[in-house]
Amino acid sequence: MNFNNENDASSASPSDEENMPSFSSPSSSSLSSSSSSSSLSSSSSSSDEATMAFANMSFGNNTTLPSFSCSSSLASDEEVTAIVNMACENNNTVVALLLLEQENQKKRGRVDMRGKTNSIRGPKRQFCHEDALAAINRDYLSAGALFGKEFEHMFRISKSRFERLRTDVMNANIPFYTTTRTISGKSVASLEARLLLPLKAYAYGVPPHCFADYFQMSFNFTSECCKHFDLTIFTVYKEEYLRLPTAEDLKSIVALHKAKHKVDGMLGSLDCTHTYWHKCPVAWKGQYQGRNSAPSLVLEAACDHNLYFWHLSYGHCGCLNDLNILNRSPLYNYMLEGQLYQLEQEANIVPFMIGNESFEKAFYLVDGIYPRYTRFVKSFKFPASTEEKAYAGWQEGARKDIERAFGVLKTQWQFLARPIQLHTPNLIAMRASACFILHNMLQSDRVMKDVHATYRAAEGIDLAPLTPEDVGQPTDLRTIQLPHDATAHNEIVELNTRAEIAQWVMSRGEAFRDLKDSAEFSRLHRALLDVFGRPNDDTPLVSGH
């Protein structure tokens, strides 16, 4: 049926005129029942769909069509007559409102892609993963890529490093990355897209769904990509980039600092930094509230001059200070249990000389809050003399290594610099560990100039090789600590008798007294003050053992 105006009616074909209702003008408010009934009897089948579409439909100006309930598939003459009368009164407004109602139904999700109504889901989006892969190759990975030179700036890692990452992930045979088709046979997001999206999200510190349009993924799938990426990076690279130093590593670290900071026996710099937890549960905000009245997680780390982290302890409550965190740190137990001293002897870096004094324990540079331990070298809070000022300048300048490392870490991977949007501590710890591994990966590539080479701190510095029996096997770094994880903070000791308990306590006490030897602490600082307290001497007298 055609409810257009007179111009449309005049242009209709003769065959259409036979089926059209006759009325005097579009503004007429009534129509003869007999005339309408005879005209519409031949077109009852074509008017059935229009009848059912107009039923129970509301329009503007408080005009509502009557509700009809017909048991047969064909509408009665009276019902069709009423619809025609209403159409004549509203003219083209009826058709316009009908189209508007259809659009509203689509927006409300009442009509899905299968043509079913009353569905709570809208039409399912169809992603074109082939186009996304073509865009990635065109923009970044091909030989003449549009943004080939900016690849490292966009994703923080070089193209060669990404090629190795892609190869290592494929060789790991992880189902999430090896699947190319769904159960229904449809294509899935490419391996390149699944690897590049987390890198870009961590680099800019934004939720992963911010890049869902470019990589052609749903919001939920972008989150899944990040979760699998974190676990994959940790599984594949933890033994290489989150390892405790071996004897060879320790010797290389000491040689690096001897060349850069003109001092022997230095293992690196130790400090803490905060990462803000925006989605911290309300019940936990009290214990995680640190400085700036915001909940945070604390990272304790030790690094060398090349900004490579050799110790990481993450997940401490923000209300703790550096001293409290040290007492919970694996590094503290590492020193008390004698493992560090044993490793120093294997590396043959002790004893070492500072000036005319000989020392048996290597040390870290720390700030003023740390205790007076024999393995810590601190600055003067209020240097008075010229010698003290010169020594403080050297110590604070050398300790900038850890400050630079934190700055580079948070600048390159802004996930740690911006408020963390994750809800659970496990996800935060896994994602932070992925960022730590990526940081060490970048520093290794920068120093070694080869993505396949194992990091060596003293690259370019000649070192005497160790004997095979002195070189130990790499040891994985302790698991990243999690909040509310008792096993991460407390050492579990299984002892059966009181004698064993007493012997263990005494051994720990002796190690602690040795670590807290104030005389040795003062002797070390006096030796450093004698060497570096010469403001006019650019080459301090530092000799090896």
More confident residue, 113 or 354: 354
Residues 18, 39: Cα–Cα separation, whole Å: 7
Average pLDDT of the chain?
78
Residues 533, 393: Cα–Cα separation, whole Å: 9
More confident residue, 544 or 155: 155
- Span 375-385, mean pLDDT? 92
End-to-end Cα separation, the chain, in angstroms:
104
Provide the whole-model pTM: 0.72
Report whether pLDDT(4) > 80. Answer: no
Report whether pLDDT(485) > 50. Answer: no
Question: How does residue 94 score in pLDDT terms, banded at 50, 70 and 90?
Answer: low
In Å, the largest CA–CA distance within the chain is 125
Q: State residue 274's pLDDT score.
A: 95
Amino acid at site 47: S
Question: CA of 53: how far to CAs of 37, 98, 100, 248, 447, in Å?
Answer: 20, 8, 13, 82, 73
Report whether pLDDT(473) > 80. Answer: no
Q: State residue 503's pLDDT score.
A: 57
Question: How does residue 47 score in pLDDT terms, banded at 50, 70 and 90?
Answer: very low
Residues 40, 22: Cα–Cα separation, whole Å: 10
Residues 141, 74: Cα–Cα separation, whole Å: 63
Reported as a single tens digit per residue, the pLDDT across 249-293 is 999 999 999 999 999 999 999 999 999 999 999 999 999 998 788
Q: State residue 121's pLDDT score.
A: 57
**Is the bond preceding 351 in cis, omega lying within 30 degrees of 0?**
yes
The lowest-confidence range among 100-104, 148-152, 179-183, 293-297 is: 100-104
Continuous H helices in 212-352: 212-215, 219-241, 247-261, 285-288, 322-328, 330-336, 339-347
- Span 158-174, mean pLDDT? 96
Residue 516 in 3-state DSSP?
coil
Report whether pLDDT(30) > 50. Answer: no
What's the burial of 222, exposed, middle or buried (CB within 10 Å: 0-12/13-18/19+)? buried
Residue 403 in 3-state DSSP?
helix
Report whether pLDDT(133) > 90. Answer: yes
Length of the chain, please?
545
Q: State residue 124's pLDDT score.
A: 74
- Span 373-384, mean pLDDT? 92
More confident residue, 207 or 507: 207
Report whether pLDDT(112) > 90. Answer: no
Q: State residue 87's pLDDT score.
A: 64
DSSP 368-383: TTS---TTEE---SS-
Residues 362, 351: Cα–Cα separation, whole Å: 9
DSSP 211: G
Is residue 180 within a helix (H) or strand (E), and if so which, with residue range?
A: none
Whole-angstrom Cα Rg for the chain:
37
Report whether pLDDT(363) > 90. Answer: yes
- Span 466-487, mean pLDDT? 42
Question: How does residue 115 score in pLDDT terms, banded at 50, 70 and 90?
Answer: very low
More confident residue, 292 or 103: 292
